[in-house]
Amino acid sequence: MIMQTPIPRRRFLRGSGAVLGLPWMASMAKTMAGPRPQDSSSAGRSGDEPQPPLRTAFLYFPNGVWEKDWVPGTEGADYELSPSLEPLADLKDDFLVLSGLDKKHSHGGDGHYAKTANYLTGMPVAKTTGKDISSGGVSIDQLIAAKVGNQTPLPSLELGIDPVISGIDSNVGYTRLYGSHISWQSPTRPVAKAINPRVVYERLFGKRMKTSTPEARSYQNLLDYVLEDAHRVRSKLSRDDQFKMDEYLDSVREVEKRIEFATRDQSHRERYEAERDRIADGHAMEIPETGTPGDFREHIDLMLDMMVLAFQTDSTRVASFMFANDVSGRSFSFLDGVNGGHHELSHHENKEEKIAQYQLINRWHTEQFGRMLRKMKAIQEGDSTLLDNSMILFGSSFSDGNRHDPDNLPLLLAGRGGGTIQPGRHIAAKGQVPVCNLYLSMAKRYGLDLERFGDSEHELTELAGA
């Protein structure tokens, strides 16, 4: 896509076809000629000093949660973390627990597809087995990207782990395509998600990677191409920003090495073949291309790390990520005490032995979310952090996996939205409150002039606190 707004030269390192974005640094921000043109992502901020941009991500995990271990028992700032949220104890002041938000248009249809496809639209999903698909509307991430996407090299970044599952779920009469997408450019056009870390890396940094094979011993990684430019830029930075730049380059090098290892490791095909039926719940699924880690935990780590890099370098300001496709039956037997597949255990039938395993899977997903937040919190941007300048939504498309209930969605919102959100609280909505109220509030923070989004009634004003 052609960029409509020039990107400042000093935000990138260049060399022999490689383009490596740099993180936001005070030294460099002060050398720019004022704020970026039409930069609405800093809406609501004050002062003449250049401000870091606002970033937003939407993270999805399938199959709901065990609500009794997810929703805190009390509201406000003094709430106690529930068992599923305990891995976030050190981050309690950095996120909001949101309960009581509903998707009334998901009550019809099947248990999964009519709820996952509209995770970010909130509108009715068309029941179909063919080409006449509809998610009910444009997803909120794509609406924001349409506003600010011309200010970054990538308008948005859609990531996932599982390939698209094709075919029809004859049990419910829905196309399985609905279970593979949460981002929609239009009601009838889902946005393709990238699942290969190597491809994502090349999209971010503009240089194709090669494996360290005997035939490619002379190959240099991306960092080697831009080191001369890096040394030149580094000499002009303050001491603090020099340290920040060194840390950043080290993190890029680490990602390069992990992707190269995955590219050389051919065992991923055997692992996916062994796991495929459980992941797709018995339906056909393609095996990912070379460059995809065989261990899905490493796969998730890589994708989330690259999302952080994309935000850190202002390569994009909007992203989405699917921990797995809808109806995922992936085995979590690597967790002590878990023996079954995710989807099977989510249908717990109120049996204690299944509930205990289901809750451990919920808790594991929360741990991965926490890992990402800690990385973002450690990245300084002037007097704030990357996490402070973000809105990171984490949740599922329905609550209890056994009931497939689209009300009381399990949602966490991390970050301070550039100073417009007061985290550290449990906000419990009362009555039938549309989740689209939240989405409207997030869009407004990007300066979108909207009266409503989806079935929203008004903004969720509680985000800003007292």
CATH number for position 453:
3.40.720
Are 442 and 120 in contact, with CB atoms under 8 Å apart?
no
Q: What's residue 358's pLDDT?
A: 97
Are 147 and 180 in contact, with CB atoms under 8 Å apart?
no
Q: Please report whether residue 231 resides in a domain.
A: no
Q: Please report whether residue 212 resides in a domain.
A: no
Q: What's residue 290's pLDDT?
A: 62
The pLDDT of 63-68, averaged and rounded, is 96
Q: What's residue 286's pLDDT?
A: 54
Distance CA 399, CA 443 (A): 24
User: Domain count of the chain?
Assistant: 1
Q: Please report whether residue 38 resides in a domain.
A: no
User: What values do phi and psi take at 66, rounded to 5?
Assistant: -85, 100
48 confidence band (pLDDT: 50, 70, 90)? low
**Biggest alpha carbon–alpha carbon distance for the chain:** 64
pLDDT tens-digit readout, 258-313: 888 887 765 555 655 555 555 555 555 555 566 688 888 999 999 999 999 999 99
Q: What's residue 279's pLDDT?
A: 55
5 has pLDDT over 50:
no
The pLDDT of 11-17, averaged and rounded, is 76
The pLDDT of 418-426, averaged and rounded, is 98
Q: Please report whether residue 305 resides in a domain.
A: yes
142 has pLDDT over 50:
yes
37 has pLDDT over 50:
no
* 121's tokens: 């639209």
Q: Which residue has 């890099």 as its token pair?
A: 309
pLDDT tens-digit readout, 237-246: 888 889 889 9
Q: What's residue 335's pLDDT?
A: 96
Q: Which residue has 């079954």 as its token pair?
A: 340
Q: Please report whether residue 389 resides in a domain.
A: yes
Q: Please report whether residue 14 resides in a domain.
A: no
Of 218 and 458, the one with more pLDDT: 458
Range name among 191-200, 278-287, 332-341, 415-424 with the lowest pLDDT average: 278-287
In sequence order, the β-bridge partners of residue 384 are 381
Q: Please report whether residue 29 resides in a domain.
A: no
Question: What is the residue range of 249's domain?
Answer: 55-201+236-464
Q: Please report whether residue 28 resides in a domain.
A: no
- pLDDT averaged over the chain? 86
214 has pLDDT over 50:
no
